[in-house]
Amino acid sequence: MALTKEILMEMYLRMNHARHFEEKVAYFFSRGMVHGTTHLSVGQEASGVASAMALDDGDLASLTHRGHSQAIGFGLDINRMMAELLGKETGYCKGKGGSMHIADIENGNLGANGIVGGGYCISTGAALTQQYNKTGKLVLCFSGDGSTNEGTFHEAVNLASIWKLPVIFFIENNLYGMSTHIEKSMNIKDIADRAKSYGIPGIIVDGNDAIEVYETVAKAAEGVRAGKGPVLIESKTYRWQGHSKSDAQAYRTKDEVEEWKEKDPIARLRKFMIDQGMATAEEMDEVEKQAKENMEKAVEFARESPEPPVESVTEDVYA
Protein backbone atom coordinates (compact mmCIF):
# COMPACT_ATOMS: atom_id res chain seq x y z
CA MET A 1 0.00 0.00 0.00
CA ALA A 2 1.62 3.26 -1.12
CA LEU A 3 1.80 6.06 1.42
CA THR A 4 -0.67 8.61 0.12
CA LYS A 5 -1.49 11.95 1.70
CA GLU A 6 -4.81 10.48 2.77
CA ILE A 7 -3.15 7.67 4.71
CA LEU A 8 -0.62 10.04 6.27
CA MET A 9 -3.29 12.46 7.43
CA GLU A 10 -5.28 9.58 8.92
CA MET A 11 -2.08 8.37 10.60
CA TYR A 12 -1.50 11.83 12.05
CA LEU A 13 -5.08 11.91 13.32
CA ARG A 14 -4.77 8.50 14.97
CA MET A 15 -1.40 9.39 16.56
CA ASN A 16 -3.00 12.52 18.01
CA HIS A 17 -5.97 10.45 19.17
CA ALA A 18 -3.57 8.09 20.95
CA ARG A 19 -1.81 10.97 22.73
CA HIS A 20 -5.06 12.62 23.83
CA PHE A 21 -6.64 9.32 24.78
CA GLU A 22 -3.83 8.65 27.23
CA GLU A 23 -3.85 12.20 28.59
CA LYS A 24 -7.51 11.66 29.43
CA VAL A 25 -6.87 8.22 30.89
CA ALA A 26 -4.09 9.61 33.12
CA TYR A 27 -6.45 12.33 34.32
CA PHE A 28 -9.31 9.91 35.01
CA PHE A 29 -6.90 7.56 36.77
CA SER A 30 -5.77 10.37 39.07
CA ARG A 31 -9.44 11.04 39.88
CA GLY A 32 -10.01 7.38 40.82
CA MET A 33 -12.25 6.80 37.81
CA VAL A 34 -10.07 4.17 36.11
CA HIS A 35 -9.54 1.05 38.18
CA GLY A 36 -6.62 -1.36 38.30
CA THR A 37 -3.56 0.07 36.64
CA THR A 38 -2.82 1.35 33.17
CA HIS A 39 0.27 1.53 30.98
CA LEU A 40 0.71 4.57 28.78
CA SER A 41 2.40 4.56 25.38
CA VAL A 42 3.03 8.31 25.14
CA GLY A 43 6.13 8.67 22.94
CA GLN A 44 5.44 5.36 21.18
CA GLU A 45 2.59 6.57 18.96
CA ALA A 46 4.43 6.18 15.64
CA SER A 47 5.42 2.64 16.55
CA GLY A 48 1.95 1.49 17.58
CA VAL A 49 -0.18 3.43 15.11
CA ALA A 50 1.86 3.30 11.87
CA SER A 51 2.61 -0.43 12.17
CA ALA A 52 -1.04 -1.37 12.66
CA MET A 53 -2.10 0.92 9.83
CA ALA A 54 0.21 -0.91 7.42
CA LEU A 55 -2.01 -3.99 7.66
CA ASP A 56 -4.66 -4.88 5.09
CA ASP A 57 -8.35 -5.21 5.89
CA GLY A 58 -8.97 -8.57 7.51
CA ASP A 59 -5.46 -8.92 8.95
CA LEU A 60 -5.26 -9.61 12.68
CA ALA A 61 -3.25 -8.25 15.59
CA SER A 62 -2.50 -9.08 19.19
CA LEU A 63 -1.68 -6.16 21.48
CA THR A 64 0.33 -5.72 24.65
CA HIS A 65 -0.46 -4.35 28.10
CA ARG A 66 0.74 -1.02 26.64
CA GLY A 67 -1.78 -1.25 23.84
CA HIS A 68 -3.70 2.02 23.43
CA SER A 69 -1.68 3.33 20.46
CA GLN A 70 -1.72 -0.13 18.89
CA ALA A 71 -5.52 -0.38 19.24
CA ILE A 72 -6.12 3.09 17.83
CA GLY A 73 -3.73 2.35 14.96
CA PHE A 74 -5.66 -0.84 14.24
CA GLY A 75 -8.80 1.27 13.87
CA LEU A 76 -10.63 0.62 17.10
CA ASP A 77 -13.34 3.10 18.05
CA ILE A 78 -12.07 5.64 20.61
CA ASN A 79 -15.59 5.99 22.04
CA ARG A 80 -15.81 2.32 22.90
CA MET A 81 -12.21 2.29 24.15
CA MET A 82 -12.88 5.22 26.49
CA ALA A 83 -16.09 3.56 27.69
CA GLU A 84 -14.13 0.39 28.45
CA LEU A 85 -11.60 2.30 30.54
CA LEU A 86 -14.40 3.94 32.50
CA GLY A 87 -16.08 0.56 33.09
CA LYS A 88 -19.17 1.26 30.99
CA GLU A 89 -21.48 -1.18 29.23
CA THR A 90 -20.72 0.34 25.80
CA GLY A 91 -17.02 -0.54 26.15
CA TYR A 92 -15.32 -3.21 24.03
CA CYS A 93 -15.63 -5.77 26.83
CA LYS A 94 -18.80 -4.26 28.32
CA GLY A 95 -16.66 -2.44 30.83
CA LYS A 96 -15.32 -5.59 32.46
CA GLY A 97 -11.88 -5.77 30.86
CA GLY A 98 -10.34 -2.34 31.07
CA SER A 99 -7.10 -1.17 29.50
CA MET A 100 -5.29 -4.51 29.36
CA HIS A 101 -8.16 -6.44 27.80
CA ILE A 102 -9.41 -4.20 25.03
CA ALA A 103 -10.32 -6.66 22.29
CA ASP A 104 -12.49 -6.85 19.19
CA ILE A 105 -12.20 -10.46 18.09
CA GLU A 106 -14.79 -10.30 15.26
CA ASN A 107 -12.71 -7.63 13.57
CA GLY A 108 -9.38 -9.35 14.05
CA ASN A 109 -8.22 -7.55 17.16
CA LEU A 110 -7.13 -10.44 19.36
CA GLY A 111 -6.80 -8.16 22.32
CA ALA A 112 -4.42 -6.45 24.67
CA ASN A 113 -2.84 -8.79 27.17
CA GLY A 114 -1.79 -8.48 30.78
CA ILE A 115 0.44 -11.53 30.40
CA VAL A 116 3.83 -10.39 29.13
CA GLY A 117 4.73 -12.60 26.17
CA GLY A 118 1.21 -14.03 25.99
CA GLY A 119 0.61 -12.55 22.55
CA TYR A 120 3.33 -14.68 20.93
CA CYS A 121 1.36 -17.90 21.35
CA ILE A 122 -1.99 -16.32 20.52
CA SER A 123 -0.61 -14.75 17.33
CA THR A 124 1.22 -17.88 16.25
CA GLY A 125 -1.95 -19.92 16.74
CA ALA A 126 -3.99 -17.36 14.83
CA ALA A 127 -1.38 -17.39 12.05
CA LEU A 128 -1.68 -21.18 11.82
CA THR A 129 -5.43 -20.72 11.37
CA GLN A 130 -4.83 -18.24 8.52
CA GLN A 131 -2.41 -20.64 6.83
CA TYR A 132 -4.68 -23.68 7.30
CA ASN A 133 -7.74 -21.87 6.00
CA LYS A 134 -5.75 -20.17 3.22
CA THR A 135 -7.22 -16.77 4.10
CA GLY A 136 -4.26 -14.80 2.74
CA LYS A 137 -4.32 -12.79 5.99
CA LEU A 138 -1.51 -12.27 8.46
CA VAL A 139 -1.12 -11.53 12.16
CA LEU A 140 0.80 -8.62 13.62
CA CYS A 141 2.10 -9.64 17.04
CA PHE A 142 2.99 -6.66 19.20
CA SER A 143 5.35 -7.24 22.08
CA GLY A 144 7.93 -5.48 24.22
CA ASP A 145 11.71 -5.84 24.61
CA GLY A 146 11.35 -7.46 28.03
CA SER A 147 9.01 -10.12 26.69
CA THR A 148 11.69 -11.46 24.35
CA ASN A 149 13.35 -12.98 27.44
CA GLU A 150 10.26 -15.09 28.05
CA GLY A 151 10.07 -18.72 26.95
CA THR A 152 6.96 -18.01 24.89
CA PHE A 153 8.96 -15.76 22.56
CA HIS A 154 11.48 -18.47 21.71
CA GLU A 155 8.94 -21.27 21.38
CA ALA A 156 6.48 -19.29 19.27
CA VAL A 157 9.07 -17.72 16.96
CA ASN A 158 10.69 -21.11 16.38
CA LEU A 159 7.38 -22.80 15.56
CA ALA A 160 6.25 -19.93 13.33
CA SER A 161 9.58 -20.13 11.51
CA ILE A 162 9.61 -23.86 10.77
CA TRP A 163 5.96 -23.82 9.72
CA LYS A 164 6.39 -20.55 7.75
CA LEU A 165 3.39 -19.01 9.46
CA PRO A 166 2.06 -15.61 8.35
CA VAL A 167 3.03 -13.57 11.40
CA ILE A 168 5.08 -10.42 11.96
CA PHE A 169 6.66 -10.21 15.40
CA PHE A 170 6.77 -6.48 16.08
CA ILE A 171 8.91 -5.82 19.14
CA GLU A 172 8.63 -2.37 20.64
CA ASN A 173 11.99 -1.83 22.28
CA ASN A 174 11.49 1.08 24.66
CA LEU A 175 14.74 0.23 26.51
CA TYR A 176 13.02 -0.93 29.71
CA GLY A 177 11.03 -3.82 31.10
CA MET A 178 9.50 -2.16 34.16
CA SER A 179 12.58 -0.68 35.93
CA THR A 180 15.16 -2.89 34.23
CA HIS A 181 17.23 -1.49 31.36
CA ILE A 182 17.77 -3.96 28.52
CA GLU A 183 21.53 -3.86 29.19
CA LYS A 184 20.80 -5.67 32.45
CA SER A 185 18.45 -8.24 30.98
CA MET A 186 20.14 -9.29 27.75
CA ASN A 187 23.67 -9.54 26.43
CA ILE A 188 22.94 -8.14 22.97
CA LYS A 189 22.26 -4.61 21.78
CA ASP A 190 19.72 -5.35 19.09
CA ILE A 191 16.76 -7.64 19.68
CA ALA A 192 16.59 -8.08 15.89
CA ASP A 193 19.67 -10.32 16.29
CA ARG A 194 17.47 -12.91 17.96
CA ALA A 195 15.74 -13.54 14.63
CA LYS A 196 18.94 -15.21 13.34
CA SER A 197 18.53 -18.06 15.81
CA TYR A 198 15.28 -18.97 14.11
CA GLY A 199 16.37 -18.37 10.53
CA ILE A 200 14.01 -15.47 9.90
CA PRO A 201 14.71 -11.85 8.90
CA GLY A 202 15.31 -9.42 11.79
CA ILE A 203 14.82 -5.78 10.84
CA ILE A 204 15.48 -2.66 12.94
CA VAL A 205 13.32 0.42 12.51
CA ASP A 206 13.38 3.86 14.06
CA GLY A 207 10.15 3.46 16.01
CA ASN A 208 9.69 7.22 16.27
CA ASP A 209 9.58 7.60 12.49
CA ALA A 210 6.01 6.83 11.42
CA ILE A 211 6.93 6.66 7.72
CA GLU A 212 9.74 4.17 8.26
CA VAL A 213 7.57 2.04 10.54
CA TYR A 214 4.70 1.95 8.03
CA GLU A 215 6.88 1.18 5.01
CA THR A 216 8.85 -1.52 6.81
CA VAL A 217 5.75 -3.34 8.05
CA ALA A 218 4.04 -3.03 4.64
CA LYS A 219 7.10 -4.45 2.87
CA ALA A 220 7.55 -7.26 5.39
CA ALA A 221 3.86 -8.10 4.99
CA GLU A 222 4.35 -8.77 1.26
CA GLY A 223 6.84 -11.58 1.91
CA VAL A 224 4.85 -12.96 4.83
CA ARG A 225 1.71 -13.06 2.69
CA ALA A 226 3.64 -14.77 -0.10
CA GLY A 227 4.36 -17.66 2.28
CA LYS A 228 8.00 -16.85 3.02
CA GLY A 229 7.46 -17.18 6.75
CA PRO A 230 7.59 -14.79 9.68
CA VAL A 231 9.61 -11.61 10.10
CA LEU A 232 10.80 -9.96 13.30
CA ILE A 233 10.82 -6.17 13.38
CA GLU A 234 12.48 -4.34 16.25
CA SER A 235 11.02 -0.88 16.70
CA LYS A 236 13.38 1.32 18.72
CA THR A 237 11.34 3.77 20.74
CA TYR A 238 10.78 5.13 24.25
CA ARG A 239 7.98 5.62 26.73
CA TRP A 240 7.84 9.08 28.24
CA GLN A 241 5.77 8.07 31.25
CA GLY A 242 6.57 5.59 33.97
CA HIS A 243 6.02 1.87 33.42
CA SER A 244 2.54 1.99 34.95
CA LYS A 245 0.64 4.38 37.12
CA SER A 246 2.75 3.43 40.14
CA ASP A 247 6.37 4.12 39.18
CA ALA A 248 8.72 6.61 40.85
CA GLN A 249 11.14 6.23 37.88
CA ALA A 250 14.28 6.15 40.03
CA TYR A 251 15.95 3.96 37.38
CA ARG A 252 16.36 6.64 34.72
CA THR A 253 17.42 10.26 34.53
CA LYS A 254 15.27 13.24 33.68
CA ASP A 255 17.83 14.10 30.98
CA GLU A 256 17.23 10.77 29.26
CA VAL A 257 13.49 11.39 29.20
CA GLU A 258 14.00 14.94 27.92
CA GLU A 259 16.30 13.69 25.16
CA TRP A 260 13.60 11.34 23.92
CA LYS A 261 10.92 14.01 24.16
CA GLU A 262 12.96 15.89 21.59
CA LYS A 263 12.27 12.95 19.28
CA ASP A 264 8.50 13.31 19.60
CA PRO A 265 7.04 11.11 16.83
CA ILE A 266 3.96 13.30 16.42
CA ALA A 267 5.93 16.53 15.95
CA ARG A 268 8.18 14.64 13.55
CA LEU A 269 5.35 13.52 11.28
CA ARG A 270 3.90 17.03 11.29
CA LYS A 271 7.27 18.47 10.27
CA PHE A 272 7.69 15.84 7.55
CA MET A 273 4.30 16.63 6.00
CA ILE A 274 4.99 20.36 5.93
CA ASP A 275 8.65 20.10 4.80
CA GLN A 276 7.71 17.74 1.97
CA GLY A 277 4.95 20.09 0.83
CA MET A 278 2.38 17.34 1.42
CA ALA A 279 0.28 19.51 3.72
CA THR A 280 0.19 23.08 5.03
CA ALA A 281 0.64 24.00 8.69
CA GLU A 282 -3.04 24.99 8.69
CA GLU A 283 -4.10 21.53 7.48
CA MET A 284 -2.05 19.90 10.23
CA ASP A 285 -3.54 22.31 12.81
CA GLU A 286 -6.98 21.31 11.59
CA VAL A 287 -6.24 17.59 12.19
CA GLU A 288 -4.95 18.39 15.68
CA LYS A 289 -8.12 20.34 16.43
CA GLN A 290 -10.24 17.48 15.08
CA ALA A 291 -8.39 14.96 17.26
CA LYS A 292 -9.04 17.04 20.40
CA GLU A 293 -12.72 17.43 19.54
CA ASN A 294 -13.09 13.71 18.81
CA MET A 295 -11.56 12.89 22.20
CA GLU A 296 -13.94 15.24 24.02
CA LYS A 297 -16.79 13.44 22.25
CA ALA A 298 -15.35 10.07 23.27
CA VAL A 299 -15.26 11.21 26.90
CA GLU A 300 -18.83 12.47 26.66
CA PHE A 301 -19.93 9.17 25.10
CA ALA A 302 -18.22 7.20 27.87
CA ARG A 303 -19.50 9.36 30.71
CA GLU A 304 -23.07 9.24 29.45
CA SER A 305 -23.01 5.48 28.84
CA PRO A 306 -24.70 3.24 31.40
CA GLU A 307 -22.87 1.11 33.95
CA PRO A 308 -23.19 -2.62 33.21
CA PRO A 309 -26.17 -4.05 35.14
CA VAL A 310 -25.30 -5.97 38.29
CA GLU A 311 -27.04 -9.10 36.91
CA SER A 312 -24.44 -9.24 34.11
CA VAL A 313 -21.52 -9.66 36.49
CA THR A 314 -21.00 -13.35 35.67
CA GLU A 315 -21.69 -13.05 31.93
CA ASP A 316 -18.78 -13.33 29.46
CA VAL A 317 -16.29 -14.33 32.14
CA TYR A 318 -14.79 -17.70 32.98
CA ALA A 319 -15.27 -19.09 36.46
- Sites of contact with Mg ion (CB under 5 A): 144-146, 174, 177
Which of positions 73-132 make contact with ligand TPP (CB under 6 A)?
114-117
Choose the contact partner of 115 out of ligand TPP, Mg ion, none; CB within 5 to 8 A by kind.
ligand TPP
What is d(CA 128, CA 167) in angstroms, rounded to the nearest whole number?
9
Nearest distance in Å: CB 182, Mg ion: 8
Nearer CB in complex with ligand TPP: 12/120: 120
Choose the contact partner of 114 out of Mg ion, ligand TPP, none; CB within 5 to 8 A by kind.
ligand TPP
Nearest distance in Å: CB 214, ligand TPP: 20
Q: Which of these ranges, 8-16, 62-70, 207-215, 273-281, lies near ligand TPP under the rule CB under 6 A? A: 62-70
Nearest distance in Å: CB 176, ligand TPP: 5
- From 47, 90, 147, 305, residue interacting with ligand TPP (rule: CB under 6 A): 147
Residue 174 in the binding site for ligand TPP (CB under 6 A)? yes
Nearer CB in complex with ligand TPP: 29/176: 176
Nearer CB in complex with Mg ion: 146/202: 146
Nearer CB in complex with Mg ion: 117/177: 177
Q: Which of these ranges, 26-34, 68-76, 144-152, 289-297, lies near ligand TPP under the rule CB under 6 A? A: 144-152
| Per-residue mark of binding to ligand TPP, 206-245 (x: CB under 6 A) | -------------------------------------x--
- From 146, 207, 230, 308, residue interacting with ligand TPP (rule: CB under 6 A): 146
Q: Which of 61, 63, 53, 48 is nearest to 107 (CA)?
A: 61
HEC secondary structure over the chain: CCCCHHHHHHHHHHHHHHHHHHHHHHHHHHCCCCCCCCCCCCCCHHHHHHHHHCCCCCCEEECCCCCHHHHHHHCCCHHHHHHHHCCCCCCCCCCCCCHHHCCEHHHCECCCCCCCCHHHHHHHHHHHHHHHCCCCCCEEEEEECHHHHCHHHHHHHHHHHHCCCCEEEEEEECCEECCEEHHHHCCCCCHHHHHHHHCCCEEEEECCCHHHHHHHHHHHHHHHHCCCCCEEEEEECCCCCCCCCCCCCCCCCHHHHHHHHCCCHHHHHHHHHHHCCCCCHHHHHHHHHHHHHHHHHHHHHHHHCCCCCHHHHHCCCCC
Residue 176 in the binding site for ligand TPP (CB under 6 A)? yes
Residues interacting with ligand TPP, by CB under 6 A?
64-66, 114-117, 144-147, 174, 176-178, 243
